[in-house]
Structure 1
Amino acid sequence: YICVAINKHGVNELPLTLHHATVPEVAQMTVESITATTIKFSIIPKGSFEGLPIRSYTIQYKPKDEFDWSFARNHTWSFGAPYYLENLVPEETYHFRVAATNDVGTGHFLNVQSQTMPRRSVPAEPKILVSAHKEYNMSDREDMVIPSPYADHFELRWNVPSDNGEPILHYLVRYCVTEKISGRWHDKDCSEQIQQSVQYTSYQLDSLRPDTVYKVELRAHNSIGDSSPAQIRVRTARGEDPIVPMQKAGISSGLIIGIVVAVIILVLILLDITCFFVNRLGVIALCCGNSAKQNAEDDAKLSSYKAAPAHPSSLNLPQPIKLAPSLTEEHEPLKQDEKQISVEFDGRHVYSKTGEIIGKHSAV
């Protein structure tokens, strides 16, 4: 195809070529590793294939006693993923075939050589993980020592290995102080076998010495026996452990509610004080008004109180002395003072109407 563009200045062309897309083909599939229950394959597509990219691989497998592929088991891998096939039966012979798939479709299946699975045995060797979850195999790096960021402990982590037909019961961890003398590693001060539950894939080694190289061994155990040991050498850090910054504690919801309630109460108190001084209103003004009213009523009751005429005997006055009448006095009638006395009491003193103090601190 040719795409042509034209304007007043000229013409330009762009040729386009379309290729017919086809399904991909697999050139070869080989067994890379095998256990009693798992197989890892290596798949190679045809080198001359230049069509659309491969999206996935599909493998079909069946026991040798089954003749029809219609009932075969299927498993699909994404392109570039590890090509593992699991949950196979120990000591069973399988037939395999594989096909590649792209956007056009699935290619033809390539028959692969049949494979007999090993018998049940001890678990496969565990794979110890180092930084960034990379598997560590000391047989490939005999003199490599992994630095630990801590001076007194190290966390050992690993991947779950194949159980080779028998479930893994637990893991065994053992570590020793190791030194390299005359080009060879020598172990000393080894620990006992430490048993770790199969539910975990990590174990923390505590109470280690700072700036010391340790060799750590890890084994998987099933009913048949122990796997071969996975090993790693670790050097602890010098001095104290690195300081890990503490995270600031977050404010709880209860504390936030308490702060909000306290702020609301403070605002109400300030508003009430402002209303009291400006308009004589509010709770404070109401309390002060009730107190003043009560004092005024008490004063009014005291000021309107009048005491009854006091009996002479209650005024603590001396008793009258009876004198014998003289001759002249007998001819004249006795003059009686008919003047009445009104007494008022203010709570402390008794007053007469004329203002004369009759008694002090009287009970009247």
Structure 2
Amino acid sequence: MLSILILNLVLLRISGELVIKPSQSSLTRDQYKSFIALCTDQSDSRVFRWRSPQQRDIPENLNDRVTVERQTNGIRLRIRNLTTDDQGAWECIGTNANGQQTQKSFQMTIKVPITFHSDSIQYVELGESVTIKCSIQANPIAEVSWFKGQDKIRIENPNYELVHDGLHIKYVEMSDNDIFWCRADVLETGESRDFPISVVVSKPISQTHIICTNPCAIEKKTATLICEASGLPTPKYLWFYGSINVLTIADSPVGASEVPKFVVRGNQLTINYVDETDNGKYSCQAFNEFDRKGQRAEYNLNVIVPPRLSFISPIEINFDSQHPQRVSFQCRIERGSIDSLSLEWQYLNHTSIQLTNGIFIDRTQYETHKLIELRFDPVRREHFGNYSCVAKNFADSTYSTASLFIQFQPVYVGPNTNIVTTIPNYRSIMRCQFESYPSPHIQWIKMSRTIQDPQGRILAVGIDNGVNDITIKQIGTTLYESVLSYTPTEGDFGLSFECRALNPRIGRHSFTLQRAQPPKKVNITHVKPLSNGVEIFIQSFENDDLPVVQYILKYDLQDTKDSQLQTLIVPAQKSTKQIIKVENLRPSTNYQLMIVAESRAGIGQQTGPIQFRTLDRQIPDFTVDEHINRTCLSDESCLITWNIESDGGAPIVRAEILYAQAKYDDGLDIEGPLSTPISIDSSITEYELTGLKPDTHYIVIIKLYNEVGVAEQKLRIKTNEETNEYNTVRKNPLITDDRKAQPNKWIVLGIIIAIIFSAVVVITICVLLRVFRLDGKHETTNSDHQTTPMMNGDHHSDKTNGYTNGHSSSTKYKKSISTSRQLFADHDSV
């Protein structure tokens, strides 16, 4: 056996070895690239073939992806688009003429780059156990690791578990709604790639339902159906009418308009111009990316038709109390949905009709014929008017008006009097009101029967004496009023004036004109004595013929021989109650007074004498409002106010204010001495205390003096805190302190004096300089100033105008020289 092995080795050595190019025993090539290899031998008698890693001999076919090409001294292996199937050991086998084989192989590795096979968005159900899929293809094999969030934080939570095909989440929470990163690392090649996966925490669709605000669908209006459902991600919706998707008919216009019948916006379905043909079953399909099937909800739409009433014809009858009549109105529903339908008769003020005074409502035909009847049996005059039949349902309300016109004789309704009182040549007013239908013609007749007017004279404005005006107006549905303004004479008293209404039936009412009587006695309800006067409370009578014009009061001391009767005339007020005040009476004195009322008819009966006694003089009565003065607005001053109720019967001659610091935080006890009394004018009722300390409680005493004595009131005040003003100024330099902004008067005076002094010094220096300059020029000139030039200032002013103030320039020059000489002489003397 050993000899045979040795023989074979010798033969192989003699025959030679196979040679493969490339010569490396291990090769690495990229996927999808091309590859060739050549196998040769030194002997020409060999037969070669290539064998794949799958132990399959490669045939010679130029169209195959893997093929061989025979050469004169070997065989070539050609592979197009390398795949992972090409990875492994490739063998070249050579056979000589004797049938002996020689083999040589190389190991080929196919390099596959990292490739991820996974969805970039994956949905996971909340609360469930799921796996985030991440399939990786790479050669060499890649190491896989997982990260979470935009910051790529490595996952180390025990709730996550790495599995062969992804990342397993044991219990999905809302925090898992994030980006997960699947990382692949190939250590042999140094390649590394990250693949982001958006994990969407989801819920299946549930609680799907359709709502529509009641009333949902009203004819000729818009109906909106809203589909609501729960689920994650946010549900999407499809709408169906029966089994038809409304999107297929959403673009169809309604009638001649271009408004589509159906409009879908998200979970809302809007149906425009609803009518009864839109009745039926509507459904919505709610779904999302996680739950593609979702749920469907249905809604039965019933279009509500607003009610429509038939026209109710008006009825007009001629009322006759001797022959009772009966009328009725029928209110019928012509069209409308019966859901929540109601039908009712009402007055025009929207109140239900009361079944009284011959009014009846018959509802027996409502269920069968959808009508109710309003019946008047018998008809009365007060039944005149309009009545409403009101129909309501969920869609709308409507009404139809029934008018009952009753022709009746004019009926006088007021005022309830037959007598008019006045005085001669004083305008009086006569007023009459009639109920009438049709509208009446109203006349005023003066019942002074003469041969020309045996039935009385019809009065007219501008024709009959005394007639000032006649007015007629309608103040109600059947109510009319006429007013006669008339100025009577002596001969008119005792005559009747008739107010006559014709429609054409006649209604009349007469007024007798009588002379007015003076007022009755004055009704005094109360007498209130004061210390220096009295108040008299009067209740006037409403049944006086003419209104009271004034009251005349006469008063005097009681039981005195020297009578000094005083008279006071007070105008009467329009109100029924009036207070008359008599002033300047003596205190503690008995008085008596009489009072009468006067109208245009004369002076009435006297009331009195009424005896009363004035009160004793008292100290002034005044009050302070402690709530207003309790806290001051300033930190150094406080405004004190009071209200004088009475001077006590004697004038207030003096007022004083004192103050001191409070002893306690409450109460009116003082601490330390009182301030010096501050005298103020007795006529004022307020005073501002100054020089107070900030944030301090004070007790203020107000005293009012009259000849009886002094009245005193105390109140407690508190100044404001200092920080409210000064701290604000320090914090905000833009806010100025008015007191600091006001300069001291001595500083102002000093500034003014300094300005005046500076001006005098400057003027003096200028004059001296001028004098020295002129004098120097004068001494250096031998002529009589004929060649001396003018000063600059004089030169300019004279050059502009040949004359200044009416004098020539030469004259001005001479005067200036003489003046300078005089000033210079004075300077030398000094």
Check whether TM > 0.5: no
Which structure has greater strand proportion? 2
Taking structure 1 as the reference length, the TM-score comes to: 0.45
Using structure 2 for the length normalisation, give the TM-score: 0.22
**Which structure's CA Rg is the greater one?**
2
